[in-house]
Structures are given as C-alpha cells and as structure tokens.
C-alpha cells in the first residue's frame, strides 16, 4: 500500500528533492527557445515563494489563483504557492471575467499570479472580489505596477518550504463544467504523491530520458499530472506549449523530440491524417483521456503511427486516472482495469453491486477521492465511501471496464436503452463524418428519439441524401432501433475548454430550433 509520513510537502518531494538527488542539471521544462533545468526551476520557485510570503503577505492555507497558458513560469508559480503552504488554484486560460469572478468567490482567492498576456479578463474580474489582497503579473512591460520579476530579483533564491501536513490541502481543481455549474475539489499533498505512484508506475512507466508533451492545460488536473507532476517524479522533462492546436502539437512533437504525448480523442482524430509524419520520430507513448476513446479512433491512430493509444479515465474529483491499461493489455472497446491502488465496480441505482455484464453506475475507491469545497453535491458524488463518477459502465468477467455513457446521456426511446456514445461511434466510422454528438430529444410517441449533430469532413454536403446515408449506415452497424431519427449538420460541436462535449448546449440548440419553428 501507499504510506506517507504525517508531515509532507509535495513541492519538497517533487522539486527540492529532485535537486537534492542530483538532478539539478537535468532539463526539466522546455518551451519554444527555452529550457529550464531542475535547479533553475527551483531557484525561480523559491524567489516567487519569497515574493508571496514577504511582499504579498501570504500565510499557509491562503488560496492563490494562477492564470497563464502552459509555460514554465506557471509551473514555477505553482510550486512557489505549494512551497509556501498555500493552495494553488490553476485555472483554464480561456476563462472570461464572469467565470473568474465565480472562481475568486467560490475559492475565496486572496492572491493572484497572472501572465500579463491574460491580465485583461482578470482586471475586469478582480474589482468584484471581496477576498482579493494582492496580485502580481509576469511578462508585463518594464516598470509596470505589480510586476513580478523585479520583486523576484530583490530576493535570494533559497526558501525553506513550509512544513505542511500530508493531509493539508495543496490544490483546488475546478471541474470542467459539462453541465455548467463549477465545483471546486480539494486535494492534499498526499494525494499529489499518490497519483505519481499509481498510474505512472503501473501503466505509463516513464523513464528519466522521456520528453513529455501534450495539449491539456495545467489548470486541468489531466494536464497538471501529465505535463508537470509525472515527468518530474521520474526526473524526465516536459514541453509546455502555450497553444497546442493539433497542427502545432504535431510540429512540436517533431521539433522537441517528444516521447510521451497526452491529449484527448478529438486531437487523435484530427492528427491521424498526418500521423505518418510521426513514424521515425522519438514518440513512443500516446495517452488519451477526458472523453471515451472510440475503437475507431484507436484503430485510426494505430494504422497511421503504429502506436497503440493508452486510454485512461480520470476525473477532477479523483485528481487523475483510475481505470486504464498499458499498450500490451488493450481490450477492444474497454477503458481498461482498475489502476493498482484503486478499486472499481459497477452498482445499481441503490448502490448494490452488479455482476459482470450488467450496465450500471461506476463506483471507485482509492488513495484519492472527492472532497468538494462547501458544496452540497458532495453526498451525490460520494456514497458509502465510493466515488460515483456519473458514468455508466459495464465490467466483464476479467475486470475490464467498458464505457457506455454519462449516466445522464442514456437515452430511453420506446422502451429501449440507448447509450449516446454507441451511436456516435457508429457514425464516426462513416468516412464523411469528422465529429458527431448524439442526444435524446423529447418525442410524443417514443418518449425520446435519438438526434445526431454531425460535423462533416470538408467537401461533404449535409443534404437529405446524406441524412439517409448516415441513417442506413448506423442501422447496418448497430441494432437498427438505435439509428438517429433526427440528423442535424453543424459547423462545430460545443466543447469545454478541456475539450469535452457539452451535450447540454446541444439540448438548448434543439429546443431553440423547436421554439423557432412556426406552429
């Protein structure tokens, strides 16, 4: 089992100890035109920690909002906060003032460290916060008020980390908002070390020479783990990209010689046509999380690059991945098995265990788990000591878990249970389809019907003939009653900043269209 001492600061373990172990001269973080060694990152983090404590009045337990695209300074700020015993609240770069106001309020943020490139929305938000005491910005014009760098230069580059308890909170993760209302999850120093030990040691098995890369923001715990914590835990390095659209990511994998990539299924689909360019590069491991990985996407990527994707389901509430598989134990259509350290099962509506083969709610238990910050939804997520992730899964006799849908995305049509992703996967296999999303919409006769929103590949036309083609195609690959009775073509799907489909927006779109129709 995982044992941690009573006093533990995860910044000490991951950063100070890395240098103490003799990794100081190893590369730690890369960005275009820049590499920081472990020793350089430590020195930067120490100076920032001194600014936080001596200039900004931070005391242990204060919450510090971090706002930046993925870059080395963001990582230095994250460690500075944790070193000083504060609570890091890394946020999604795309958030606007309105969303920032909600976070400043929910998390009772007292301090902010912000990249000047993203200061505008913060300036709109900060006036509305009663808790905020001090802000520093980096990368601003020389002489700017609240500039971080001159303050850093006024301090020495050593700092004695605050002696925190293993069960002190060190970070707040905000959930990605597929349903709109954000929740903050609390995680301890111990939890950070636990996720470094579980999935990476048993599934990813990275080495010191690995170069990590990927698209998820550090404000999303998928990115924090994959691009910061996991590489540093083994003395490897990580490439941080401020913009990581599929073509930029592809270029960066090539130019930085990346070996381990983290991204979401949509990116693998978008990159697959150029995937052959990755043959002969150093890339050897590709991780997918955030959304279910369709079997067709796995096959597409394998054909293009020769690489078997490592799928894994994680959640902000559990901090990182808890069901996954390595390249050698892929089972078609399955997310994988419980990561060593975690237990997973499928339960019915009353929380009773279901046998293999039956669809139910996924329940997970392990070294990390959900602690919402002052939110009544805590008792929905954690019941009888098990975390209910809101996903419908089925387990086979060997303990492999097969994703069905979000519990809310099970469609009941004329008495049939239909999982939206199953229809989506069937549609995705058609060569004209680039992306698609399926919802259940109200229907007088059948209760609900399956409606598909389809993004076509360039050059395809969304006419009546295409609707028929797609409907016929689905009927040929899955049970005919699952075919989409309504098909609507759209230019792009609504997604969260983490790349997750927002089905609630499609429901709103459908209702809007219905209301607009005369009669």
Among 406, 430, 503, 505, binds ligand 3UK (CB under 6 A): 406
Least separation in angstroms between residue 478's CB and ligand 3UK is: 19
Distance CA 246, CA 268 (A): 8
For ligand 3UK, the closer of residues 161 and 266 by Cβ is 266
Q: What track of x and - describes contact with ligand 3UK for positions 273 through 292 (by CB under 6 A)?
A: ----------------xxxx
Least separation in angstroms between residue 418's CB and ligand 3UK is: 17
For ligand 3UK, the closer of residues 85 and 217 by Cβ is 217
Q: Rule CB under 6 A: is residue 67 a binding residue for ligand 3UK? A: no
Distance CA 305, CA 297 (A): 12
Q: C-alpha distances in angstroms, 362 versus 93, 291, 367, 406?
A: 31, 15, 17, 10
Least separation in angstroms between residue 410's CB and ligand 3UK is: 13
Q: Rule CB under 6 A: is residue 91 a binding residue for ligand 3UK? A: no
**Which 3 state secondary structure label does DSSP give 315?**
coil
Q: What track of x and - describes contact with ligand 3UK for positions 215 through 234 (by CB under 6 A)?
A: ------xx------------
Q: Tell me if 452 sits within 8 A of 484, measured CB to CB.
A: yes
Beta bridge partners of 480: none
Beta bridge partners of 89: 65
Among 259, 389, 413, 448, binds ligand 3UK (CB under 6 A): 389
Among 115, 210, 391, 435, binds ligand 3UK (CB under 6 A): 391
Among 16, 121, 210, 311, binds ligand 3UK (CB under 6 A): 311
Find the residue with minimal CB distance to ligand 3UK. 314
Q: How many residues does the chain have?
A: 519
For ligand 3UK, the closer of residues 85 and 341 by Cβ is 341
Distance CA 72, CA 90 (A): 13
Least separation in angstroms between residue 173's CB and ligand 3UK is: 7
The structure tokens 């369709």 sit at 294
Residues 162 to 181: which contact ligand 3UK by CB under 6 A? 175-176
Q: Rule CB under 6 A: is residue 342 a binding residue for ligand 3UK? A: no
Element (H, E) at 83: helix 72-83
Q: Rule CB under 6 A: is residue 419 a binding residue for ligand 3UK? A: no
Among 313, 346, 370, 388, binds ligand 3UK (CB under 6 A): 313
* Total chain residues near ligand 3UK (CB under 6 A): 24
Q: Rule CB under 6 A: is residue 403 a binding residue for ligand 3UK? A: yes
Distance CA 269, CA 519 (A): 41
The structure tokens 């870059």 sit at 71
Q: Tell me if 217 sits within 8 A of 223, measured CB to CB.
A: yes
Distance CA 503, CA 384 (A): 29
Task: Give helix then strand counts, H and E, for the chain.
Answer: 18, 25
Residues 475 to 504: which contact ligand 3UK by CB under 6 A? 498
Least separation in angstroms between residue 452's CB and ligand 3UK is: 19
Joined tokens for residue 20: 């103490």
Least separation in angstroms between residue 436's CB and ligand 3UK is: 16
Q: What is the CA radius of gyration of the chain?
A: 23
Phi, psi of 142 (to 5 degrees): -55, 140
Joined tokens for residue 369: 């788990």
Among 47, 320, 371, 503, binds ligand 3UK (CB under 6 A): 320
Q: What track of x and - describes contact with ligand 3UK for positions 243 through 272 (by CB under 6 A)?
A: ------------------------------
Least separation in angstroms between residue 298's CB and ligand 3UK is: 11
Least separation in angstroms between residue 500's CB and ligand 3UK is: 6
Q: Rule CB under 6 A: is residue 191 a binding residue for ligand 3UK? A: no
What single string gives the DSSP state of each residue in 197-242?
A: HSHIIIII---TT-EEEE-S-TTSHHHHIIIIIHHHHTT-EEE--S
CB atoms within 10 A of CB 223: 24
For ligand 3UK, the closer of residues 49 and 438 by Cβ is 438
Q: Rule CB under 6 A: is residue 314 a binding residue for ligand 3UK? A: yes
For ligand 3UK, the closer of residues 69 and 499 by Cβ is 499
Joined tokens for residue 50: 């001194």
Among 140, 164, 335, 365, binds ligand 3UK (CB under 6 A): 335
Strands (E), 226-317: 237-239, 260-263, 285-288, 310-314
Q: Is the dihedral of CA 20, 25, 26, 27 positive or negative?
A: positive
Distance CA 284, CA 400 (A): 24
Least separation in angstroms between residue 314's CB and ligand 3UK is: 2
Among 316, 387, 413, 502, binds ligand 3UK (CB under 6 A): 316
Q: Tell me if 65 sits within 8 A of 107, measured CB to CB.
A: yes
Sites of contact with ligand 3UK (CB under 6 A): 175-176, 221-222, 289-293, 311-316, 320-321, 335, 389-391, 403, 406, 498
């Amino acid at each position: 089992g995982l044992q941690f001492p009573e006093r533990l600061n995860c910044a000490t373990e991951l950063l100070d100890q890395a240098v103490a172990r003799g990794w100081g001269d190893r590369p730690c973080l890369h960005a275009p035109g820049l590499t920081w060694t472990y020793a350089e990152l430590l020195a930067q983090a120490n100076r920032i920690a001194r600014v936080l404590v001596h200039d900004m009045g931070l005391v242990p337990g204060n919450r510090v909002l971090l706002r930046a695209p993925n870059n080395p300074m963001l990582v230095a700020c994250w460690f500075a906060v944790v070193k000083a015993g504060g609570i890091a609240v890394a946020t999604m770069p795309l958030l606007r003032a309105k969303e920032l106001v909600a976070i400043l309020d929910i998390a009772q943020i007292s301090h902010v460290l912000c990249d000047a490139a993203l200061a505008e929305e913060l300036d709109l938000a900060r006036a509305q916060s009663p808790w905020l005491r001090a802000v520093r910005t980096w990368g601003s014009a020389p002489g700017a008020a609240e500039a971080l760098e001159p303050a850093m230069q006024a301090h020495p580059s050593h700092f004695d980390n605050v002696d925190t308890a293993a069960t002190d909170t060190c970070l707040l993760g905000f959930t990605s908002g597929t349903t709109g209302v954000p929740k903050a999850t609390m995680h301890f120093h111990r939890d950070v070390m636990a996720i470094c030990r579980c999935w990476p040691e048993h599934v990813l098995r990275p080495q010191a020479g690995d170069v990590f890369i990927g698209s998820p923001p550090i404000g999303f715990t998928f990115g924090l783990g994959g691009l910061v914590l996991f590489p540093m835990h083994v003395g490897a390095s990580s490439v941080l990209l401020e913009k990581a659209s599929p073509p930029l990511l592809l270029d960066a994998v090539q130019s930085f010689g990346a070996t381990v990539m983290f991204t979401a299924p949509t990116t693998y689909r978008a990159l697959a046509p150029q995937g052959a360019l990755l043959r002969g590069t150093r890339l050897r491991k590709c991780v997918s999380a955030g959304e279910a990985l369709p079997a067709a996407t796995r096959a597409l990527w394998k054909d293009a690059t020769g690489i078997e994707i490592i799928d894994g389901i994680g959640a902000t509430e559990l901090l990182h991945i808890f069901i996954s598989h390595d390249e050698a134990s892929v089972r078609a259509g399955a997310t994988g098995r419980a990561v060593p350290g975690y237990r997973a099962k499928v339960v019915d509506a009353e929380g009773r265990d279901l046998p293999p083969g039956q669809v139910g709610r996924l329940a997970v238990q392990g070294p990390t788990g959900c602690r919402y910050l002052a939110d009544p939804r805590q008792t929905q997520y954690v019941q009888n000591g098990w975390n209910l992730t809101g996903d419908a899964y089925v387990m086979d006799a060997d303990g492999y878990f097969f994703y069905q849908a979000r519990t809310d995305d099970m469609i009941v049509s004329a008495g049939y249970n239909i999982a939206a992703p199953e229809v989506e996967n069937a549609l995705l296999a058609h060569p004209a389809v680039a992306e698609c999303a399926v919802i259940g919409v109200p229907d007088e006769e059948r209760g609900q019907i399956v409606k598909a929103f389809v993004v076509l590949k360039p050059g395809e036309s969304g006419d009546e003939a295409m609707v028929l083609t797609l409907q016929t195609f689905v009927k040929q690959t899955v049970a005919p009653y699952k075919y989409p009775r309504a098909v609507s073509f759209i230019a792009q799907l609504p997604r969260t900043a983490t790349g997750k489909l927002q089905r609630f927006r499609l429901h709103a779109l459908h209702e809007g269209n219905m209301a607009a129709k005369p009669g």
